[in-house]
Structure 1
Amino acid sequence: MSARILVVDDVIPNVKILEAKLSVEYYDVLTAYNGPDALKIAFDVQPDLILLDVMMPQMDGFEVCSRLKKDPRTAHIPVIMVTALSEATDRVQGLEAGADDFLTKPVDDMSLFARVKSLLRLKMMMDEFRLREETSSEFGVISMSDRKEEAIQRARILVIDDNKFSVTQIKEVYAQIYDVTIEPDMNLAQEMLQTGDFDLAVISLDSANFDPLRLCSRIRTVDETRHLPILTLVDDGDKDKLLKGLDLGVNDYVMRPIDTNELIVRTRTQILRKQYQDRLRYNYHRSMELAVTDSLTGLYNRRYMSNHLEALLHRAKFDYKPICVMIIDIDFFKNVNDTHGHGVGDDIIKEFANRIGMSVRGIDLACRYGGEEFVVVMPDTDLSVASTVSERLRRQIADKAFTDAKGSYELDLTCSIGVTVSQEKESPDTLLKRADEALYTAKRDGRNRVAVNAANVVSFEKTPGVAFN
């Protein structure tokens, strides 16, 4: 997972050490030696993560973090505070300033990379939702400023812990603020999480009766709980378990003996983040239904695709990640409408859209471009991957006949696909034009094939033979 990381520390050797460690893992590292410079770089460059020292002259890390989180341009950037301070009060102060986590000097490599990877995964997911919300807001369907205050008092927490003393302590901390459910059995807890509307799972990593890491893994692999925040309670000797948990997708942790203030602040942070994610998802789905989906297929429409592609290309100017586009056309589709009528044609279009959805990846954006033409936008993808996905889709169309439940028709259809990849300073129009040129080549030279346009040089990735209808 490549990313741009800003390292901030007034001690040059500390900066160089972190820069070297991160560079070995192929991260793009930026550096700053004081708070004001760090803020300027963060505003100008928009890094994916900030490693921020606490004790600095001019402006300490708490103030820098607070300013970052108050500015809409940088509020979404994860901040890890790196400090020699180890008191719980210092951690609480940093968390209240908006920090996502703490690392204590000297920084342990395993802890560093576990936290970096965990927060980068979270940011990638949040960026995708934020980008789609921004795209939708341009249509006037939702308002970016219409943000209600999150009511954390109504939040529901499930605590999975079989330690009676620990459970009693947690209940006392949460009792006046949250709706808390205690469940010591892992299997019952998992069932409750899948059927209940919880905002946070608190899991003890020190259990005699169940494997807490197995539970964390199950939570992350089930659709109903995939995005549920997980806060773990960790004993000092369970460092290996903690690191494995962070790798599995644990969001945060509190060390035992539990500091009440730290538990309250970390809990509140996770719940607010969960409610923010829920709002993004709700606005996204609501706006898609109202403004940016094709009524026949349920795919995105051309208008949304154009705006989303433009936003992706703008972002690519900063992260240099390629974007592939494929244009798909059903071969000889006019014959279907002329022979069987537009009702059958509409059924074919809907089934074709379903097969596209099964062939592309979750991060790809599929849309109905018009008539029997479709477009798939593939972010952070090179031509070899896009060509493989395109060929898989071509085979799914050609290898299985289109029919209805009554068996009133059975049609063997094929499709032609043009694929291209973004170039430096690309515009949506030129990118789509090159994909369309590749599609034209595929149709001209026999149909039922994938043609690739790389830097205006068209070639065939796959040539299955003579097209048929």
Structure 2
Amino acid sequence: MSARILVVDDVIPNVKILEAKLSVEYYDVETAYNGPDALELAYNSPPDLILLDVMMPQMDGFEVCRRLKKDPRTAHIPVIMVTALSEATDRVQGLEAGADDFLTKPVDDIALFARVKSLLRLKMMMDEFRLREETSSDLGVINTSEEEEVAIRHARILLIDDNEYSVDQITKVYDEEYDVVVERNMDEAQALLRGSDFDLVVISLDAAENDPLRLCSRIRTFEETRQLPILTLVDEVDKDKLMKGLEIGISDYVMRPIDINELIVRTRTQILRKQYQDRLRHNYHRSMELAVTDSLTGLYNRRYMTNHLEALLQRAKMDYKPVSVLIMDIDFFKNVNDTHGHDVGDDVIQGFASRIGVGVRGVDLACRYGGEEFVVVMPDTDLSIASGVSERLRRQIADQSFKDSKGMIELDITCSIGVTVSREQEDAATLLKRADEALYAAKRDGRNRVVVNSGNVAA
């Protein structure tokens, strides 16, 4: 996952060390040596993540973080504070300023990259939902200015811990503000999570009889709980477990012995984030229903795709991330309508769309372009990955027969696909035209194939 990271520290060797470590992992690194310069860089060219020192002259890291989080242009950039301060009160102050996490100097490489990857994954998903919300707002489908600010209301927490003392301590903190359910058995907890609507799950990683990390993994596996925030309670000696948990996808952690104020702040942060995500998803689904989906397939329509692609290309000009596009066309579809009628043709289109939806990633955007043509827009994706996805989709279409809704007719269907990738200073129309040229080449050369157009000559 490529990303731009801003490193801020007034000590030059500290900056150079972090810059070197991140560059080795193929991140693009920008640097600043004081708070004002960091803010200017963040406002003019927002990075994907900020590593921010706390103790700096002119303006300390807490103040920089507060300003970043108050400005709409930078409010959603993850901030990791890197500091020699290790007291719980310092962590609480940073979290209240809006920091997403803390790393203590000297920085452990495993912890650094685990947190960076985790926060970048979250930002990538949130950016996609925000971009779709902006697209819907531009189309006049929803009015985001009328949305209420996110606030904690009747938040539900599932606490999973088999230590009686720990359970008593935490429930006393939570009882006044949250609806808390306590479960000591991992299997029962999993059933509860899949059958109920929780805002946060708090899991102790030192369970005596079960494997809490296995449960964390399952939470991230199931569709019902994939986006549920996970806050873990970790002993100082269990850092290996914590690193593994961060790789799996836990959202945050509190070290034992538990500082009550830190627990309160981290809990509130995770619930606010969850409710904000829920609002974005609600707006996204509502806008799709109103104006931007194709009524037959449920995929995005051409109007939405074009607007969304333009927005992606504008963003790509700033962060230099490629946008790939593929156009798919059902081979000999006219014969289906002429032979079996338009009802069967509609069934084929619906089945085709369903296979596209299953075959692409969550961040990709699939749409019905018109008739039997479909488009998939793939952000932050180079041509080699896009062509691989295209070939997989082509095989999925060809390898399994299509049936009509009555189960009376079975048809072998194939498709042709044209693929291309964005170039600098390019608009959506030009990019789509180049993909269409590749599609035309695929149909001319015999159909049921993928043709790649790198921007020069289709091959």
> Shorter-chain TM-score: which interval?
over 0.9
- Gaps in structure 2 of 5+ consecutive residues: none
Measured after TM superposition, the shift of residue 360 of structure 1 is 2.7
Number of equivalent positions: 459
Measured after TM superposition, the shift of residue 316 of structure 1 is 1.4
Partners of 2:415 and 2:140 lie apart in 1 by 35
Question: Equivalent pairs: percent with the same residue?
Answer: 80
Contact in 2 for aligned 1:2/1:26 (Cα 8 Å): yes
Partners of 1:211 and 1:411 lie apart in 2 by 48
**Helix, strand or coil for the counterpart of 2:321?**
coil
Q: How does 1:167-178 map to 2 (within 5 A)?
A: 167-178=167-178
Partners of 2:367 and 2:350 lie apart in 1 by 12
2:323 maps to 323
2:69 maps to 69
1:430 maps to 430
Measured after TM superposition, the shift of residue 405 of structure 1 is 4.6
Measured against aligned partners, the alpha-carbon deviations of 1:73-102 in whole angstroms (never above 9, x if no partner) come to 000001111111122111111111101111
Measured after TM superposition, the shift of residue 173 of structure 1 is 0.7
2:311 maps to 311
Contact in 2 for aligned 1:387/1:450 (Cα 8 Å): yes
**Helix, strand or coil for the counterpart of 1:378?**
strand
Distance 1:20 1:413, change over 3 A: closer
Distance 1:24 1:445, change over 3 A: closer
Measured against aligned partners, the alpha-carbon deviations of 1:199-225 in whole angstroms (never above 9, x if no partner) come to 111111122121111111111111111
Partners of 2:448 and 2:431 lie apart in 1 by 22
Q: Please say if 1:181 is aligned against 2:181.
A: yes
2:258 maps to 258
Measured after TM superposition, the shift of residue 154 of structure 1 is 0.7
Q: Please say if 1:279 is aligned against 2:282.
A: no
Which amino acid is the alignment partner of residue 160 of structure 2? Answer: I
**Helix, strand or coil for the counterpart of 1:154?**
coil
Partners of 1:178 and 1:129 lie apart in 2 by 27
Which amino acid is the alignment partner of residue 246 of structure 1? Answer: L
Q: Please say if 1:420 is aligned against 2:420.
A: yes
Moved more, 157-166 or 102-111: 102-111
1:56 maps to 56
2:94 maps to 94
Q: Please say if 1:158 is aligned against 2:155.
A: no
Moved more, 240-249 or 139-148: 139-148
Measured after TM superposition, the shift of residue 61 of structure 1 is 0.7
Q: Please say if 1:355 is aligned against 2:355.
A: yes
Measured after TM superposition, the shift of residue 370 of structure 1 is 0.9
Moved more, 317-326 or 32-41: 317-326
**Helix, strand or coil for the counterpart of 1:223?**
coil
Partners of 1:17 and 1:112 lie apart in 2 by 12
- Gaps in structure 1 of 5+ consecutive residues: 460-469
Which amino acid is the alignment partner of residue 417 of structure 1? Answer: I
Give RMSD over aligned pairs.
1.6
1:464 maps to none
Contact in 2 for aligned 1:400/1:412 (Cα 8 Å): yes
Q: How does 1:2-21 map to 2 (within 5 A)?
A: 2-21=2-21
Contact in 2 for aligned 1:434/1:456 (Cα 8 Å): no
Partners of 1:153 and 1:399 lie apart in 2 by 49
Q: How does 1:105-184 map to 2 (within 5 A)?
A: 105-184=105-184
Q: How does 1:197-236 map to 2 (within 5 A)?
A: 197-236=197-236
Q: Please say if 1:38 is aligned against 2:38.
A: yes
2:344 maps to 344
Measured after TM superposition, the shift of residue 407 of structure 1 is 4.6
Measured after TM superposition, the shift of residue 324 of structure 1 is 1.6
**Helix, strand or coil for the counterpart of 2:396?**
helix
Which amino acid is the alignment partner of residue 89 of structure 1? Answer: T
Distance 1:404 1:76, change over 3 A: same
Distance 1:96 1:420, change over 3 A: same
Q: Please say if 1:298 is aligned against 2:298.
A: yes
Distance 1:452 1:9, change over 3 A: same
Distance 1:136 1:405, change over 3 A: closer
Measured against aligned partners, the alpha-carbon deviations of 1:291-322 in whole angstroms (never above 9, x if no partner) come to 11000111110011101111111121123222
Measured against aligned partners, the alpha-carbon deviations of 1:31-65 in whole angstroms (never above 9, x if no partner) come to 10111100000111111111111111111111100
Contact in 2 for aligned 1:194/1:225 (Cα 8 Å): yes
Partners of 2:136 and 2:455 lie apart in 1 by 31
2:267 maps to 267
TM-score (structure 1 length as normaliser)? 0.94
Partners of 1:359 and 1:171 lie apart in 2 by 43
Measured against aligned partners, the alpha-carbon deviations of 1:169-227 in whole angstroms (never above 9, x if no partner) come to 11111111111111111111111111111111111112212111111111111111111
Distance 1:423 1:149, change over 3 A: closer
2:453 maps to 453
Contact in 2 for aligned 1:152/1:178 (Cα 8 Å): no
Measured after TM superposition, the shift of residue 390 of structure 1 is 2.2
2:365 maps to 365
Distance 1:87 1:313, change over 3 A: same
Partners of 1:231 and 1:30 lie apart in 2 by 31
Distance 1:250 1:420, change over 3 A: same
